Amino acid sequence: MTNSLTSLPDSNAVLSQDELKTRVGQAALQYVVPGEIVGVGTGSTVNKFIDALASIKHQIKGAVSSSSASTERLKALGIPVFDANEVEALSVYIDGADEIDVQGHMIKGGGAALTREKIVAALSCKFVCIADESKLVQVLGKFALPVEVIPMAAKRITQQFATLGGQARVRLQGDQPLVTDNGQIILDVTGLQIADPLAFESQVSQWPGVVTVGVFAFQKAQICLLGTASGVKTLTF
């Protein structure tokens, strides 16, 4: 991993987490290719990027979105949204993360959009992760791992995680299981230390009923714009 500091905050400024998100969202504009379609993730950090993207919307063709929530925000700002099946490939995908390690592997899915996020990431030549510094970890697993599953497989998958030392719980919305954009449910798994993200993603992806595991190792980030107290750091993996 190499790293460089690309901007400094005003002297004496104490930046809130929200301000750090705004700064990395704006910094991501430098990776958007004029005249092209950009891949857009989901979450509060990406919302800052979408707001910034609106300022250059006439320079791009539009976006492929990873969730209904991002699609709605993009359209409200006048940015055309394309179906993933309409594009061959994307130069760049911009998205947040719940955790990112020093090699660019991530945990994602805190916003329940992990399946579409992985699809758009796979279509893209470069993944630019935007995050504040609280997301940088040595080993993935501090944040509960989201896994989108088919409801009838939830019990068996919960048992399989238990054999790995993980405790899986169905994510709720109110008192009901949260239903994803794909009509499935999410298990949040705690108690894992994911030392080998590639092997872990490979293993869990093969369990019957797993739609998507929220480890992004095959679709890892090439760049991370990290919002820190001393400015936006660019990490290159």
Binding site for ligand 5RP (CB under 6 A): 41-45, 95-98, 108-114, 117
Residue 154 phi, psi dihedral angles, 5° rounding: -60, -45
User: How many helices, marked H, and strands, marked E, lie in the chain?
Assistant: 6, 17
* Active-site residue identified among 88, 99, 117, 133: 117
Compute the least distance from the CB of residue 95 to ligand 5RP, in Å.
Answer: 5
Helix (H, G, I), strand (E, B) or coil at 176: strand
Compute the least distance from the CB of residue 187 to ligand 5RP, in Å.
Answer: 14
- Closer residue to ligand 5RP in complex, CB, 67/160: 67
The answer to whether 117 is a known catalytic residue is yes
Query: CA 213 to CA 141: how far, in whole Å?
Result: 13
Query: CA 105 to CA 101: how far, in whole Å?
Result: 6
Compute the least distance from the CB of residue 30 to ligand 5RP, in Å.
Answer: 19
Of the candidates 68, 210, 216, the one whose C-alpha atom is nearest the C-alpha of residue 148 is 210
Task: Give the residue numbers annotated as catalytic, written as ranges.
Answer: 117
